[in-house]
Amino acid sequence: MRIKILLVMTFLLVYVPYAAAADKVSPAVIELYQQTRNEVESLSKTKVGTYAKDVLDEARKSLFKAQEGLAAKNEKGVKEAVEKAQMEMVLAGVKAEEREATEKTGMTRAKVKMLEQKLADLLGEKGGQR
């Protein structure tokens, strides 16, 4: 009987602190969540918000899941959702650069066509004068 009590006491002394710690979200993870949330909001005010709004919306959804994890005190869930949001922020930055480059390329092509037309008109006038 004493052995059983000793085993139960040992189990409680070893396991209970870990179980209690699992019900908390560490301050480092909370800070990571807050920094990521602030970065997403900052990005929404830049060209990324203009060119990659759809991807930033996905990052916001991930942050919402992280917020739910905070409420449930699920550190693993919070950390995974925050990491996903961070990856989506990187993707948003890349997509914004790509879309901006595509837009600039289109504008440059239009300018080249206009200049080619002017050149053709000039050469046509000079050809008619000879």
Q: Which of 23, 19, 15, 17 is nearest to 69 (CA)?
A: 23
Tokens of 120: 């053709």
Q: What is residue 45's predicted lDDT score, i.e. its pLDDT? A: 94
Tokens 């990521």 belong to which residue?
A: 36
**111 pLDDT exceeds 80?**
yes
pLDDT in tens, 17-65: 444 445 689 999 999 999 999 999 999 999 999 999 999 999 999 999 9
**102 pLDDT exceeds 50?**
yes
Q: Using N-to-C axis directions, what is the helix angle for 27-43 and 75-129, rounded to 10°?
A: 20
Residue scoring higher pLDDT (76 or 22) = 76
